Amino acid sequence: MAPRSKRAPRSGSNKVRIEEVARRAGVSPITVSRALNTPEKVNETTRVAVLKAVEETGYIPNRLAGSLASNRSKTVGVIVPTVTNSIFADKIRGLGDVLSGAGYQILLGQSGYSLDAEADLVAALLAQSPSGLVLTGSTHAHRTHVMLERSGVPVVETWTSAEFPIDMQVGFSNEAAAFAVVEHLVAAGYRDLALVVAPVQDNDRALGRLEGFRKAIAHFGLRQPAPEREAAFSLRNGAEALVNILETHPDTDAIFFANDILAAGALLECRRRNIAVPGRLGVAGFDDLEIAAEIVPSLTTVAVPRYEIGSRAAQMLLARLDNAETGRRVQLDFTIMERESTRRER
């Protein structure tokens, strides 16, 4: 009796394997592999025959097997706090556009602004042997650093300009941007400022903006301590923060919201309460979302390269995987967008 495989055959797996394509094309499996992955290394006649067989059979290569064998996976892990925030959505679009052009897939993780959740995601993503990892921010749990170090996987941290990135970095200086906003408010004639920023706990982007704000307040000799509020990103929270600040600090003449959604919510509340912007109150935002240009009055804000952060991060990763020379820190520019909400008649 012929020795039978110990392993039962897969239940009617109708999937085409490389061997079948090879048989059909009259070549060996490895030639099919080469025709698909490194076509320039295969004779044209052979290649055409293989592609024909692929077409006829509807063969879709099993990347799991290919990645395991080659130790290269064509996936990139991306961790964002949440896709619901459009600044991260734009980054993902930038990543996706560049990566899918190069045949890579995105493995997406949402950390919910929790470093612990981020660490779990890093472990889960590393388990898939990604070609690279794109993280948000430069603040991570200790075990995240350990795992990343150990894995040797290329890492890009985004949105920050921390001095010592784990590996690569694409971002801008949140601190400098916030400083510039205050500088603009001062130039527009505002003196009694307030700040509304995302919760800074474990959020270096928010923390950078807070610090830039504080430094500018000190630098320009403005009212101290300036009222500061933390609020998660929503229109409602912006409206509520505005009301709260005006109640506790009625002499406030301008508020810097470290996010356009918060600022827009405040502008809508100003309309409901007939608070004159920019006359009674100046309002500035952050991000330059579309609403900043469209809302009435239009919103002064900081334009940041959301999409580009994603596309550049992807490019750096691809360059690294290609063993090309890459810088480690890409510092992008921001631009103050002066609009009606701080255009005070003096």
Partner DNA sequence: CTGTTAGCGCTTTCAG
Partner DNA sequence: CTGAAAGCGCTAACAG
Binding site residues, DNA, CB under 7 A: 5-8, 10, 13, 15, 17-19, 27-34, 36-37, 40-43, 45-47, 59, 61-62, 65-66, 68-72
User: Is the distance from CB of 106 to CB of 75 less than 8 angstroms?
Assistant: yes
User: Is the distance from CB of 182 to CB of 193 less than 8 angstroms?
Assistant: yes
Supply 241's token pair: 């923060």
Q: Which contiguous run of DSSP H or E holds residue 147?
A: helix 142-151
Region binding its own copies by CB under 8 A among candidate stretches 19-27, 64-72, 183-191, 329-337? 64-72
One symbol per residue from 247 to 276: x for binding its own copies (CB under 8 A), - otherwise; what is it? ------------------x--x--xx----
Residue 148 or 283 having the CB closest to DNA: 148
Residue 12 or 221 having the CB closest to DNA: 12
* Nearest residue to 132 (alpha-carbon basis) of 171, 170, 187, 184: 170
Partner from its own copies, DNA, none binding residue 14, C-beta < 5-8 Å depending on class: its own copies
Asked if 102 touches its own copies (CB under 8 A), the answer is: no
The footprint of its own copies on residues 216-235 (CB under 8 A) is: 234-235
Asked if 151 touches its own copies (CB under 8 A), the answer is: yes
Smallest distance, Å, CB 194 to its own copies?
Answer: 20
Can you count the helices (H) and strands (E) in the chain?
13, 12
Residue type (1 letter), 340: E
Q: Which contiguous run of DSSP H or E holds residue 108?
A: strand 105-110
User: Is the distance from CB of 22 to CB of 31 less than 8 angstroms?
Assistant: yes
Partner from DNA, its own copies, none binding residue 108, C-beta < 5-8 Å depending on class: its own copies
Question: DSSP letter string over 70-82?
Answer: HT---EEEEEES-
Residue 28 or 82 having the CB closest to DNA: 28
